[in-house]
Structures are given as structure tokens and as C-alpha cells.
Chain A
Amino acid sequence: MITNHLKLLVGGVQLRDGVVTVTDVLGRILTRAGLYVLAMERGYASTIYGAHQYDPMVIAEQPPVSWGDPALDILVALDYDSNPDASQQPNRDTVLRHGSHLKDGGVLVYDSSTGEIPTEALERRGIKVFPLPARNIARDELKLDVVKNMVAVGALFRLLEFDRDVTLLRKLVEERFMRKGQKVVDTNLQAARRGREVVETVLKARGWTGTDYHLEPRPVTEPRLLISGNEALSIGAIQGGCRYYAGYPITPASAILEFLEEHLPKYGGRAMQGQNERESIRAALGAAVAGVRAMVGTSGPGLSLKVEEFGVSGMAEVPIVIVDTQRAGPSTGMPTKSEQADLSLVVFGGHGEIPRIVLAPATQEECYTMMIDAHNIADKYQCPVFFLTDLNLSEGRKVVPEAVFTQTAVRVDRGTLVREEDLRRDGAYKRFALTPSGISPRLVPGTLGGIFKVTGSEHDERGFVSTDPATRKAMMEKRARKMETYLREDAKPPQVFGTPDRKPVLVGWGSTRPVLLDAQQRLRALKIEAAVVHFTHLWPFPTDVAKAVLGRASVIIAVEQNFSGQFADVIQSQSLLPVRRIVKYNGLPIYASDVVGGVEQILQDGITHVRVGTEAPAPVRVSEGD
């Protein structure tokens, strides 16, 4: 019997089967029950209706180290056949695609409304199969198609022996549906009851006492949230004083726009859907020029369209936070698949040379805390600050203690904004005054006693256009100096897990930290001691600190979700240390087994690049509780 430790996948037909409704209800209730949920591998399509959609979810008593491997304990297939007579059964995608990932002794629940499907092969592996006519129950018995999701939830809870008195489910259903009337609440609860009954019938008929899996509520010691990266960073933006947001609809950044359109006005701010990617960033720059903290959000294709404005921000010294929820490129690429392949664009993109700062949070918690920092840093250094997430982090949900949001000390520091009294004291105001730090005083228009001239053309200290060689040199150096100040005062060093001395060191950035730490544990089980060095502050690259750590490694292995190893190239060019790479670019998340396999290959064969994701990764088991 395995209690509070499993991976579950719910799959179905996009928009028809309500996959995310089921995982949302599960996630919400399990969070309230004191369990930890990590759902970072959502799969869907950029067509709206009819494609296969799935949502894997790790459920555990302790915060899971990572999403682990594709291996599943429980598979819930919501699909049914719209045309049961067709020889091909397109709507059996969930079982066809994910059935092979079910562990021996696992559980399959599938919608049998349009007939049973062959499951002998799975049953031979000890998998317990529960046919569940959820759609028929909903449509024919309860006369409400949508409650088929609740039939599935009821069935799942029964076979996990969870929430037997229906307290938790009832509370959630009442919260969600009471405004639609008692009848809707009752129908939902009835649906869940019918799901439970079907499971009981199957158990009895098969003579099973239950499944190997069991969930048990844990005492809730503190309020917790189930939250996505996009949601966490949006709250971070509000908390951090961002009051103007603009974004053009694009997957997977649209959720930020929707969240801020709904909530930013409550804090006196405005969020605008741009008519195109350029209008969005230009309007945000205009807001910043007018003195307001501003942010834009987009993904790869949109970011490419904004490149010209990176230069404006850098040259005219207008602060802006640019969120890039990376997705698989190039061009339209794979809009609903995750990747980490925009690093080169944010570090090097654009003509000419500008100061710029690149941050990449690893977790939902950091999406919140680092977003507050991002706005302070943008104001202090008056340049573009890139905030790199990726689809998995942006849309991935995780249980996070509420204290992360309520207990983090927040300081809104607007840097060198000058006030009327400063102008009276200091006299002639120079927007681009040459200073040792490179940082010049910034003026909010409307402040009596000063005006600014700001331009993306080269300019003198007062902002008047100039191509005078000495002025140009001084201004280029002033802007560059800001990055030296940043490295001294604000860049955070990489986090080091384990001791890197004469050991293989796994290097990562952004959302892959959990899986590197997972791989580290699995390697240890294979008697390979490796350290993990993870960067959140990517550019300007902290060469000195990075070299001091990485220089001690026996071999440096960057693990990245892109083809070429973009961060490996940065490290190599900045530190002159050779960096090997494990890369994955097939649209699926990096799994712990990918990393373990890659490290073994590098250590055994001495190869420099491992491209994973071509064969099914072989999971390496570690002991319970890891």
C-alpha cells in the first residue's frame, strides 16, 4: 500500500472532456487536505477543439523534489468515442499515448460510455482497470453533460479511499456552484456518488479489496496555495509596484494579461491588450517615461517583434520589465510546448550594445519574489530587465505556502527618482549625468523645477542629440558601467547544491532546477556524486563568482531545454571553461531520467553533447521518501 505518494495523469479531448477541470478540482482539494501537488507537464494543443490534452500531477506528503519521470501510477482517460463504429478510435488517445507509462500494478480509469477497450496487455502487468461510463451517467441519468468530470472525481476519490465522508468535495462544490443554485450542487455531488458506486461495483466484481494507492489528509499547519508561475509573477508585479501592463495575446503569456486586466485596476493600475506586440512595449515604455512602473509579457514570436524597443530602453535609459514565457521556437514553432531557447535573443538581441539584465526564476515562489526584485532593479539600472520563464513554469501549478507571499519583506525602491526639493537644492538637472556608478537621476514629468529630454539617439548629459566622439565614448561607458555596478550590488550568485570539488557539476538555469536536484539524488543512488549549480541571474554573467565555483568541477555539464546549449555557450565564452551539454528539444519536459542517462553517457564515453528525448527514458528508481 502506497500512501500519499503517486503520479497521476488525466487525459482527454481538448475543450470537450474537461481535463483541467478534473485536475483543478483534485489539486484544490488535495491542497486543502495538506498534501503537495506538482503539475508542471501539462500537454495541450494550439488548436482549440479535439486535440489530445493531458495534465500529469505528482501528489505527495512532502513537497516533491521534481516532476520526476513519465512513469505513472494512475491514468484517468476521459475520452470517449464520438463515433464508436469507426475502425480507428481516435479518442482513445489517452490510453494509447500514456498507457505504456503506467507502472506495473498501477490503475487505469477510463470512460467506457462508448464501449470497453482492450486492456488485457495492461492487466497482464497487474494494472487494475476500472471502466467508468461517466459520460453516459452524466448525460442519461443526471441530464447534465458537464458533470461527467465529477463522476470521474468521485471514482478517483473512492479508489484512493480519500474524502470518504465527502466533506472536502462538498465544500468545494458549494463554493463553485451555489450561485447557480442548490440543484446544480446536488447534481454534482450525485455525479461524484455515482462515480464511487461504479468503482465499488468493479471492486466487488473483480474481488479486489482496493488499489495499491491511498491518499490521506495531513494536518494543515499553514495556509497553502496551488498557484502557477504566471499567477505568481503577476501577483509579484502588483506587489512590486507595477501599475501599467501591456500584452498582445500569445500562448503562454496571455494568462498574465488576463490576470492583470482583472486585478491591476483594483490597485490603481491599468492593463491593456495591445493591438500588436510593438504597441504593447511602446505603450509600456511611454508609461515608464511618464514615471510609472511598467511591464510587458510575451513569448518568443512576440519577443522577436519587440527587439527594436530593447535598444530604446537601453539607450534612452527607460526602465521596463519584459516577461518572456518561453515556448518552443523558432518562428511559430510549437506554441504549446516548453523550451529554453530565447536566452541568446535576450542576451544578445538587437543592433548596437546596451546594458541589460536577464533574470530566470526556477519556481513559482521565485516567480513572485524575483518579480518584485525585477522592478526594483529595472528602476535602479534604468534598462530592460528580462524575466525568463517557460511554458512549464508559467502554466505549471504547485503547492506553495501562503507565507511566501505574505512574509517576504517587500520594499519598493524606485532608485534615483528626483523630487522637487532635490531639484531646488541641486540646480541644473541633467537626465544623463555622468556618474561613477553610471546611474543618473531620473525625473518624473510634472516635477517642478526640471525637464528632461530623452532619446534613443546618442546624446549628451542633458539628452540633446550628439555624435561628438568624446560624448559618445563617455555615454557608452556610462551605460556599460551600470552593469559593473549591478554585478557588484545586485547580481545573485548561482545556488550551489553539494560540493563541486573534482566532481561532475550539473549546471542549469530557470525552471530545470527541481529536475537537476532530483537527478542528483538518483545519481547518488547509482554511486555518482554530482553537484548542482543553478543560475537565476544570468546576465550580465557573474564571471568571477561563477568561475570560482565551476572551476573546481571535474566536468561541467549544462542541462538545457534547447538544441545548442545557449547558456553553456555563455558560460564557456565568459569563463573560458569548457562546458558539456545535455540538451532536450522535443517539446517534453526534461525528466530526471534524461539527466541521469546523459550524465552516465558523458562520464563513460567522454562525449560533449548528449541529445536526449529520442528514446523512452529509462527510469531509475530511488528508495521511497526521496
Chain B
Amino acid sequence: MSEPNVTKSNGQSTVRAAQKPSAKLWDENATPRHRIQWCPGCGDFGVLAALKMALTKQEVTPANLLMVGGIGCSGQIRNYLNGNAFHGTHGGALAYALGAKMSRPDLTVIALAGDGDTFAIGVENFVHVCRRDPGVMLVIMDNGVYGLTKGQHSPTHGRGMDIKEWSEESPPPFSPLRLALTAGATFVAQSFSGDPKHASEIYVQALQHKGFAMVNDFSPCVTYNKFNTYDWYREHGEDVSASHDPANLDAAWELLNDFDRRGRLPLGVVYRHPRAKKAVNRLPLWPEELQGADVRPLLQLFR
């Protein structure tokens, strides 16, 4: 995918010591708001707002944040707020994030990608990152289309549509949440960017989760998806009830079945069950930590 994107940054880099982040801090070292290249009304604006709120709440500092953006409209989000950011190949975001978090458990690592990136070209990474369970938060900006390349269908296209016959070319949408549960994810949630405050509360829980936290965010594409609109999501979304026990896997499946039967979309934390994991340290990286490694014990093996 190419990115027809001409961002000329004129922001000033600011050197600052560690300080308590304020909401304003997130606007530094970022593409200025009037240069943001999302269509007016794009759902990704809501994700951006929710993300800033959640990061502020969690007192994450930009220097300690590493965002890995996917390819597509949504992946641009990495440049629209302060913090370190990386952007590689289509479908690769979670695998980069995996390596980064394995190396640097001290960083807040989040992956920000679209539904095509995550569930089509990157599904191989999604499935296995669910199993590997690195402490990475993934926010999928799910809009059912490839916006950047002008509206082709993604794996979640067709949600809620009354289609009588499917074909190999146009298969029914699949459920991100069911895939995540099947693959062994330890945190599975869904949010709606039309309600950034609620979304940010879910992101906060995801950031607090010790392990891989998947948040599928309904983020309407106002330009290419005229069906799954804000109104449509408002009509079909429904908060997960306070009585739901997210630590119970059976209850999570039950909940999905129940919502599906009723033609509703759950919003909230569907499953959360941290796994016992080995403690890991930041990997050595400074020359003084690496210089002079004693390999003599290894040489013994070959005498």
C-alpha cells in the first residue's frame, strides 16, 4: 500500500525533563492538528482523543512510549500524538511490537492498526501474539474497509448487512473477538470511537493489563463505509453489563453468543484473565553492559 501523504512538519521538538504529563503534552512532537490527514469526521479522531486521555490517566511519558503503527489511515495516528513511533510493513505492527516489548518491558508498547492490517495481511501475527501474550496493547480501528486505498472490503466488511448470498469473493465478516478468544488472548475488549470517554476507560484497563490486550474499536470510515456509520453503531452497540464476569472464559463465549443472537455488538471488556508469566528484565543494550562478555564457558563445549 502506498501512502499519498505529504506531511510537512513544522512543530518544534521540545527537550524536557520527566514531568507529569498533561493532555497538552501529547500535542508536542506531533503533526499539528490542522495538518492531520484524516477525512473530517473519521472515527480515528475519536481513537486519538481516547488514547490521549488513557495515556494521560496512566501517566505514561512520551519518551517511554513506543507506538507501532500499521499501514493504512489508522496507522497515521502514531504521528498525531507525542511519543516514539515506528511504522514498517503492512501486517507487521504486532510482530514489531512483540520484539520491542520482549526487549524492553520497561516501555509502554502499543500497536495501532486497522482491521485489514490486523485480520487480513497480518492475521498470522495476530493469532500468535494472542498466544505469546506480550504486554502490548493493540487498538484495532475497525471500519470494514481499506480506506487509504479507497474503500476495498476488509475481513470485517458486511457487519450487520442483510446479504442473502455470499461468495468466495465476498465472504461474510468474521468476529475479531471470537478469533482472539480462540487464539488464547488474555484481554479481549471492544470499544466505539464515537464515545471516546468510554473507549478511554477500556484503553486504561488494557494498558493496566499484564499481557496482550486487544481492543477492537469501531471506528467508522465516513468516506467509504456508508453502512456501518456512527448512527448504525450507536443503534447496535450495547455496553457489557456490570454483572458480566470477564475472568470467566465460558461467560465470555456466552456473552458473544448472546449478543450475536440479539444482533447486538458488545462494548466493554469481554474477557480478562492474566496468565502467570516469567519475569523478564530489560535486555542489555548500552556498550558498557555489552562490552567484555565472558564467552569462555561456551568455549569449553568445544574442547
A residues contacting B by CB (< 8 A) are 31-32, 223-227, 231, 235, 238-239, 241, 243-244, 246, 263, 266-270, 272, 275-276, 278-279, 282-294, 308-309, 311-312, 316, 402, 405-406, 410-414, 417, 423-424, 427-430, 443-457, 460, 462-468
Contact of B63 among A231, A246, A312, A449 (CB under 8 A): A449
Q: Is the CB of A451 within 8 A of B99?
A: no
Residues of B close to A417: CB separation below 8 A: 286
In the assembled complex, the Cα of A220 lies from the Cα of B269 at a distance in Å of: 68
The reply on B78 being an interface residue by CB < 8 A is yes
Contact of A444 among B76, B95, B285, B296 (CB under 8 A): B285
- State how many angstroms separate the Cβ of A48 from the closest Cβ of chain B: 25
The reply on B259 being an interface residue by CB < 8 A is no
In the assembled complex, the Cα of A193 lies from the Cα of B64 at a distance in Å of: 66
- Chain A residue at minimum C-beta to C-beta distance from B84: A445
In the assembled complex, the Cα of A276 lies from the Cα of B125 at a distance in Å of: 9
In the assembled complex, the Cα of A451 lies from the Cα of B295 at a distance in Å of: 35
In the assembled complex, the Cα of A172 lies from the Cα of B97 at a distance in Å of: 46
The reply on B66 being an interface residue by CB < 8 A is yes
Q: Is the CB of A460 within 8 A of B88?
A: no
Q: Is the CB of A453 within 8 A of B299?
A: no
The 3 A-B pairs with the shortest beta carbon distances in the complex, nearest first, are A286-B99, A283-B99, A282-B95
The reply on B9 being an interface residue by CB < 8 A is yes
Residues of A close to B4: CB separation below 8 A: 467
In the assembled complex, the Cα of A447 lies from the Cα of B96 at a distance in Å of: 20
Contacts A286-B103, A316-B88, A445-B63 given; indicate if A451 touches B283 (C-beta within 8 A): no
Q: Give residues of chain B (64-101) contacting chain A, Cβ–Cβ below 8 Å.
A: 64-66, 68-69, 76, 78-79, 82-89, 92, 95-101
In the assembled complex, the Cα of A449 lies from the Cα of B15 at a distance in Å of: 5
Residues of B close to A244: CB separation below 8 A: 99, 102-103, 283
Residues of A close to B106: CB separation below 8 A: 446
Q: Is the CB of B100 within 8 A of A286?
A: yes
Q: Is the CB of B3 within 8 A of A427?
A: no
Residues of B close to A428: CB separation below 8 A: 12-15
Q: For the A-B complex with A225-B303, A456-B89 known, give 9 more contacts whose Cβ atoms are closer than 8 Å.
A: A241-B287, A244-B103, A279-B124, A287-B102, A294-B99, A312-B92, A451-B29, A455-B85, A463-B85
Q: Is the CB of B102 within 8 A of A272?
A: yes
Residues of B close to A287: CB separation below 8 A: 99-100, 102-103, 283
Contacts A451-B84, A457-B3 given; indicate if A445 touches B64 (C-beta within 8 A): yes
Residues of A close to B302: CB separation below 8 A: 225-227, 231
In the assembled complex, the Cα of A451 lies from the Cα of B84 at a distance in Å of: 5
Q: Is the CB of B87 within 8 A of A269?
A: no
- State how many angstroms separate the Cβ of A375 from the closest Cβ of chain B: 9
Show 21 A/B contacts (Cβ-Cβ < 8 Å), sorted by A.
A31-B303, A32-B303, A235-B298, A235-B299, A239-B295, A243-B283, A243-B285, A279-B95, A283-B99, A291-B103, A312-B89, A410-B291, A414-B285, A428-B13, A446-B106, A451-B13, A451-B82, A453-B29, A453-B84, A464-B79, A468-B8
- State how many angstroms separate the Cβ of A339 from the closest Cβ of chain B: 27
Query: How many residues in B have their beta carbons less than 8 Å from beta carbons of A?
Result: 70
- Chain B residue at minimum C-beta to C-beta distance from A28: B303
In the assembled complex, the Cα of A497 lies from the Cα of B49 at a distance in Å of: 67
Contact of B78 among A267, A286, A453, A460 (CB under 8 A): A453
- State how many angstroms separate the Cβ of B34 from the closest Cβ of chain A: 14
The reply on B273 being an interface residue by CB < 8 A is no
- State how many angstroms separate the Cβ of B215 from the closest Cβ of chain A: 20
Residues of A close to B100: CB separation below 8 A: 286-287, 289-290
In the assembled complex, the Cα of A227 lies from the Cα of B297 at a distance in Å of: 14
Residues of B close to A231: CB separation below 8 A: 302
The reply on B104 being an interface residue by CB < 8 A is yes
Contact of A268 among B69, B87, B284, B299 (CB under 8 A): B284
Contact of B125 among A282, A450, A456 (CB under 8 A): A282
Contact of B103 among A225, A292, A412 (CB under 8 A): A292
Q: Is the CB of A292 within 8 A of B283?
A: yes
The reply on B40 being an interface residue by CB < 8 A is no
- Chain A residue at minimum C-beta to C-beta distance from B96: A286
The reply on B7 being an interface residue by CB < 8 A is yes
Residues of A close to B86: CB separation below 8 A: 286, 289, 316, 454-455
Residues of A close to B101: CB separation below 8 A: 286, 290
- Chain A residue at minimum C-beta to C-beta distance from B93: A282
In the assembled complex, the Cα of A362 lies from the Cα of B209 at a distance in Å of: 49
Q: Is the CB of A241 within 8 A of B8?
A: no
In the assembled complex, the Cα of A593 lies from the Cα of B142 at a distance in Å of: 64
- State how many angstroms separate the Cβ of B9 from the closest Cβ of chain A: 4
Q: Is the CB of B6 within 8 A of A468?
A: yes
The reply on B16 being an interface residue by CB < 8 A is yes
Q: Is the CB of A243 within 8 A of B96?
A: no
Contact of B96 among A282, A412, A460 (CB under 8 A): A282
In the assembled complex, the Cα of A1 lies from the Cα of B17 at a distance in Å of: 79
Q: Is the CB of B7 within 8 A of A466?
A: yes
Residues of A close to B107: CB separation below 8 A: 290, 445-446
Q: Is the CB of B89 within 8 A of A269?
A: no
Q: Is the CB of B17 within 8 A of A225?
A: no
Contacts A278-B95, A290-B107, A410-B292 given; indicate if A464 touches B285 (C-beta within 8 A): no
- State how many angstroms separate the Cβ of B270 from the closest Cβ of chain A: 25
Contacts A282-B96, A316-B86, A411-B291 given; indicate if A289 touches B285 (C-beta within 8 A): no
The reply on B18 being an interface residue by CB < 8 A is yes
The reply on B281 being an interface residue by CB < 8 A is yes
In the assembled complex, the Cα of A276 lies from the Cα of B91 at a distance in Å of: 13
- Chain B residue at minimum C-beta to C-beta distance from A285: B96
In the assembled complex, the Cα of A446 lies from the Cα of B3 at a distance in Å of: 29
Contacts A309-B89, A466-B7 given; indicate if A289 touches B66 (C-beta within 8 A): yes
Residues of A close to B296: CB separation below 8 A: 406
Interface centre among B84, B281, B292 (most CB of A within 10 A): B84
Residues of A close to B7: CB separation below 8 A: 464-466
Residues of B close to A291: CB separation below 8 A: 103-104, 285
Q: Is the CB of B6 within 8 A of A466?
A: yes
CB-CB contacts of B50-68 with A at 8 A, as 1s and 0s? 0000000000001111101
Q: Is the CB of B285 within 8 A of A452?
A: no
The reply on B128 being an interface residue by CB < 8 A is yes
Residues of B close to A279: CB separation below 8 A: 95, 98, 124-125, 128
